[in-house]
Amino acid sequence: MPRNVYFSQGATSEKRLYEDITIEALKIYGHDVYYIPRAIVNTNAIFNEDTLSKFGEAFQIEMYVENTDGFEGDGELLSKFGVESRDSMTLVLASRRWEELIGRFQSSVEVRPQEGDLIYFPLANGLFEIRFVEEESPFYQLQNLPTFKLTCETFEYGNEAIDTGIDAIDSFETQYASRTQLTLGEGNGLFQVGEDVTQTNSTSGIIVTGEVATISTSDTQFNTLNTYTNLEVADYPTGYVIIRFGESISNPEATHIKLSSLSDSSLSYLEGTFEIQMMFNTAIVITAPSAWPLGSAVGSAGTVEILGNGYASGTTIEISSQVASDGSNTLFAPTVTGTTQNIVVPENIRYAASGQLLPRASYKIASTDAFSSIDSNDSFADNEDFESVGNNFIDFTETNPFGEPNVKS
């Protein structure tokens, strides 16, 4: 028998009212959290799994914590890999609010929260991964589905790139990502913790990208970028001196100029180090010394060093979240002329947190170390100790170091 047509079961106005009441209740009793969509960088076509993913956005939205007595799950467990946290919780989210604040910015196929996306819960300062999304609870009251119910578990970090622009969230990558320590050689410029750097392999064309996690020192010095031997000095205008070269200057990251051994005795008061005020294709402008007399251009021979602010050779930085452009396991490697290029900051123009203009940084990589960084990042790690012990009793000069002893080719 058909239902009674004189009784409405889900008028649009009633559905809207039901949704409004639900949203209001979530705003009263819920918590502000951040929804972080997962972006797939590389997919395993055979197993249809994401071998590499990143998190680049975070959307603030209110959600209600259903398990009010505390986290569920197995809690903290002591396993052979250390202490593991297996907390879980259930969150309730209004479907209309998700569409308004998050869904409209996602792809057309993502019509609901996705398993694998993250939730940052500020109250517990924790990241939780969505394991299951229940779309039919409560079950078709007034013939609509006003909420999503998200079952979440503690997120196990797997070296994903996290760059949302929110320090509390991005710090998970800085703290837990595996790192490689790079010893810098010749170069110039300054790095900033948290910025991306790249290295290009000239032979294969692979570009490796990573994030600066730590810098061993804040001490800087003037590094020589280029040297010239001929110059012409003239006024530009009053109060400034222009130094012209007979060739193009290819160091836009230069900050200072040093003049020495000038052949013209009238230019002796120009000998020293000066800050660059302006730079042209073939000339540099500096502030005129107090003894500078107005006059015509003077040609001279001497030594002119173009300087850039940078680190001394031997400075170390730690790089996390290394990703190769072709999805391979290629990592940062020592600089080899004609093969692996310098480690550089891609942006030509960038600014420090203080607003100071920073020149582009570029350095040779003298050596890499993947073990000491692990030990400094995890106080319980013994990687470096095992490496040292292994090198002491395994002789790799033998034909088969794991077979008969003292057999060498």
DSSP secondary structure code for residue 330 in this structure? -
Residue 95 has pLDDT above 60, yes or no: yes
Q: Which residues pair with 148 in a beta bridge?
A: 93
Position 43 pLDDT exceeds 80? no
Supply the pLDDT for residue 75.
Answer: 67
CA distance 284 to 259: 12
pLDDT digits 0-9 by tens, 214-252: 898 888 888 888 888 888 888 777 788 888 887 787 777
Average pLDDT in the chain: 80
Kindly list the distances between the CA atom of residue 145 and the CA atoms of 21, 92, 149, in Å, as whole numbers in the listed order.
Answer: 13, 12, 11
What pLDDT band is residue 36 in, cutting at 50, 70 and 90? Answer: very high
∠ CA 312-313-318, rounded to 5°: 95
Decide which of 360 and 10 is more confident.
360
Cis peptide upstream of residue 138 (ω within 30 degrees of 0): yes
Report, in this order, helix, strand and coil percent for the chain, each rounded to 5.
15, 40, 45
Mean pLDDT of all residues in 271-293: 83
The DSSP string of 121-133 is: ETTTTEEEEEEEE
Q: Nearest 5°: CA angle at 306, between 301 and 309? A: 155
Residue 62: is its pLDDT beyond 90?
yes
Cα(207)–Cα(322) distance, integer angstroms: 10
How many CB atoms within 10 Å of residue 263? Answer: 11
Buried-exposed string 383-408: b where 16+ CB fall within 10 A, e elsewhere: ebeeeeeeeeeeeeeeeeeeeeeeee
Between residues 3 and 218, the one the model is more confident about: 218
Q: Going by DSSP bridges, is the β-strand pair 283-287/272-279 parallel, antiparallel, or unpaired?
A: antiparallel
Per-residue pLDDT of 336-367, as tens digits, reads 887 888 888 877 666 666 666 666 788 999 99
pLDDT at position 48, please? 56
**∠ CA 211-213-216, rounded to 5°:** 130
Model confidence at 391, pLDDT cuts 50, 70, 90, reads: low
Residue 294 to residue 296: CA distance in whole angstroms:
7
CA–chain centroid gap for 160, Å, is: 11
The pLDDT of residue 86 is 77
Which residues is 365 bridged to in the sheet? 184
Query: What amino acid occupies position 106?
Result: Q
What predicted TM-score, i.e. pTM, was given to this entire model? 0.64
Q: Distance between CA 119 and CA 107 in Å, rounded? A: 19
The whole-number pLDDT of residue 327 equals: 73
Per-residue pLDDT at 127 exceeds 60: yes
* Coil, strand or helix at 322: strand
- Domain residue ranges of the chain, discontinuous segments joined by +: 12-169, 177-220+312-393, 221-310
For residue 301, report the phi and psi dihedrals to the nearest 5 degrees: -105, 155
**Sorting pLDDT into bands at 50, 70 and 90, what band is 195?**
confident
With bands split at pLDDT 50, 70 and 90, how would you rate the model's confidence at 131?
very high
In the numeric block, which tokens belong to residue 144? 């609509």
Residues whose CB is less than 8 angstroms from the CB of residue 366 and which lie 6 or more positions away in sequence, other chains included: 183, 184, 185, 313, 314, 334, 335
Q: Topology of 221-310 in CATH?
A: Elongation Factor Tu (Ef-tu); domain 3 (2.40.30)
Q: Is 119:150 a contact under the CB 8 Å cutoff?
A: yes
Q: Are 264 and 300 in contact (CB under 8 A)?
A: yes
